[in-house]
Amino acid sequence: MALDKTKVVYQIYPKSYKDTTGNGIGDFRGIIEKIPYLAELGVDMVWLNPFYPSPQRDNGYDISDYTAVNPVFGDMADFEEMVRVAKEHNIDFMLDMVLNHCSTEHEWFQKALAGDKYYQDFFFIQDQPTDWLSKFGGSAWAPFGDTGKYYLHLFDVTQADLNWRNPNVRKELFKVVNFWRDKGVKGFRFDVINLIGKDEVLVDCPENEGKPAYTDKPIVHDYLHMMNEATFGADDSFMTVGEMSSTTIDNCVLYSAPERHELSMAFNFHHLKVDYEDGQKWTITPFDFEELKRLYHTWGKEMSERGGWSALFWNNHDQPRALNRFVDIKNFRNEGATMLAASIHLSRGTPYIYMGEEIGMIDPDYDSMADYVDVESINAYQMLLDQGKSPEQAFQIIQAKSRDNSRTPMQWDASENAGFSTGAPWLKVGKSYKDINVEKEMDGPIFKFYKELIRLRKEMPIISEGSYLPALEDSQEVYAFERHLDGQKLLVLNHFYGSEVEVAIPEDYQTGRVLLSNYDDAELAEKVILKPYQTLAILV
Ligand code: TEU
């Protein structure tokens, strides 16, 4: 598998990109309309969150039919047209494959419930539940109809885990993957794929809410290898990424090393937990720069030395906007957005841009709990109240942490509903849309900087292929790294604060040239003062 490392992926949350029917939900025709915009930005691949038939208990991650289109997004002909039009602009699609679980409304689960033994073996059904917790709160087991038994759901109660030990399950799921391959898609993002390998006998695991019982089990590697062989492995140009929950470097090297024939790359989330107090998401605390730097350095260096490949990202549909978390957006939104972009686009791995990131979108700043729709937020709010937090405290936490923060409609212009829809959007538009929207930002510094970063990756092998080495490891403000390739060297300095900081430039770089900065007047010397959120990339 020869992965093309010059490529950049753009993630679209289809419900929120562009609505052409006025029903308040984005659709395929809306995406088709925006393909020239994506081509202007220069991205190569679009990752689409799930658009399959689904009761939408978890916004489409609860799939009731894997090989069809939810009519709110259009029909199969629209899908095919979208793939075709995008290809004319050299853009391919990466589809979200949710193969760890399916909706309890899927016919497999419905047949199982009706007593069909063949389909009961598709799930984890047992007499007694274990002590594992669901990632959305509460027990991970729920009563299986009125049988007196229980079925496993690591996520919502309507998302039943599929039993990959059963070869019939694997056969069905591989058919799904091939169905979409035949439609001309060129990539897959596999949802929580490191959770598919459960033990043969499921027992209590008091440690870490049960995670060790089902996370990164050695058998996952076998399943991925089988899937690779049965589906996309035949096509060299395919790009696959696994979403890895609570994973390790050792496993990510194995998931992504080309000679293993598993996946092209892996997402991990450790760097997005540096603003969790004691590892708990539903808390508010400033981000821990030391920890962020340590994580980036360890992962960057190890993956580089050991031949692994990472997906690099700051935002996705499960995360509040990185700008709100890492940047003083009142004073330095442009500088912060461009610095964050450079810190991953110049690094080793495949960069992912989440819709709106390229124009510096921020969290919506909702006023009331009634504005939130995500099942996780609603459960968490109740949990926080139960823990004794006041409604104000609980709301503040949801405001900072809700997944809805990134799922708000794309801000296209300053007109009503931000130009996303003529009807009432399924999720309220963010308050900032009059100031932050595509129409305004396309001539602004953030969009231009992203274009430049994408172009540079295509032109410069040192960016796409170079090795990763930590730099300035003791700095308390600057996250810096080097890239090396065939005698060429690149140093990238990223200042994470709104102050000025002096940096001693390593000798060999003092006579180099500034490849890129988010400030105009960057000059090289023995010592350089980095401005607020400055990025400086030096090439020798
Ligand atoms: O997410 C997996 C996952 O564990 C999370 O990122 C999760 O949303 C977060 O930990 C909650 O705080 C994937 C999808 O990206 C997510 O949207 C789905 O809800 C989830 O799987 C279930 O399919």
CATH architecture of 463-539: Sandwich (2.60)
Structure tokens belonging to residue 380? 């968490």
Backbone angles phi, psi at 233, to 5 degrees: -55, -25
Position 236 scores a pLDDT of 84
CA pair distance 95, 47, nearest whole angstrom: 6
CA pair distance 17, 31, nearest whole angstrom: 7
pLDDT at 321 over 80: yes
491 conformational bin, left if phi > 0, alpha if psi -120 to 50, beta if neither: beta
Task: Output the DSSP codes for 481-527.
Answer: EEEEETTEEEEEEEE-SSS-EEEEPPHHHHTSEEEEESSTT----SE
Average pLDDT of the residues of the chain = 97
Cβ neighbours for 433, distance < 8 A, ≥ 6 positions apart: 411, 414, 418
Cα dihedral 198/201/204/207 (nearest 10): -40
CATH number for the domain whose boundaries are 9-102+167-369+406-454? 3.20.20.80
Would you kindly state where each structural domain of the chain is located, as residue ranges? 9-102+167-369+406-454, 103-161, 370-405, 463-539
Tens digits of residue pLDDT in 133-150: 999 989 999 999 999 999
Confidence tier at 1 by pLDDT (50, 70, 90): very low
Tens digits of residue pLDDT in 465-514: 999 999 999 999 999 999 999 999 999 999 999 999 999 999 999 999 99
Superfamily covering domain 103-161: Oligo-1,6-glucosidase; Domain 2 (3.90.400.10)
Position 2 scores a pLDDT of 84
Positions marked active-site: 191, 243
Strand locations in 268-312, DSSP E?
A: 311-312
Query: What mean pLDDT do residues 368-386 have?
Result: 96
Tell me the pairing of strands 141-143 and 159-161: unpaired
In this structure, what DSSP letter does residue 476 have?
S
According to DSSP H, which parts of 387-444 are helical? 391-401, 404-407, 438-441
Tens digits of residue pLDDT in 430-454: 999 999 999 999 999 999 999 999 9
Task: Output the DSSP codes for 189-243.
Answer: EETTGGGS---SS-----GGGGGGGTSS-HHHHHHHHHHHHHTGGG-TT-EEEEE
CA pair distance 336, 342, nearest whole angstrom: 10
Residue 416: count of CB within 10 angstroms of its CB? 11
Pocket of ligand 1 (CB under 6 A): 58, 61, 98, 135, 155, 191-192, 243, 245, 281, 317-318, 376
* Packing angle, helices 445-459 and 329-345, rounded to 10: 10
Query: What mean pLDDT do residues 214-221 have?
Result: 98
**Closest residue CA from atom 18 of ligand 1:** 61
By most ligand atoms within 8 Å of CB, the mutation choice from 318, 379, 401, 404 for ligand 1 is: 318
Distance from residue 403's CA to the centre of ligand 1 (Å):
9
CA pair distance 61, 58, nearest whole angstrom: 5
Exposure letters 40-67 (e unless 16+ CB within 10 A, then b)? ebbbbbbbbbbbbbbebbbbbbbbbbbe
Query: What mean pLDDT do residues 187-193 have?
Result: 98
Tens digits of residue pLDDT in 222-279: 999 999 999 999 898 899 999 999 999 999 999 999 999 999 999 999 999 999 999 9
Confidence tier at 205 by pLDDT (50, 70, 90): very high
Distance from residue 332's CA to the centre of ligand 1 (Å):
30
Position 361 scores a pLDDT of 98
Distance from residue 132's CA to the centre of ligand 1 (Å):
17
Distance from residue 312's CA to the centre of ligand 1 (Å):
17
Structure tokens belonging to residue 481? 């790294």
By most ligand atoms within 8 Å of CB, the mutation choice from 97, 191, 268, 407 for ligand 1 is: 191
Ligand 1 atom nearest the C-alpha of 156 is: 22
pLDDT at 521 over 90: no
**Closest residue CA from atom 4 of ligand 1:** 245
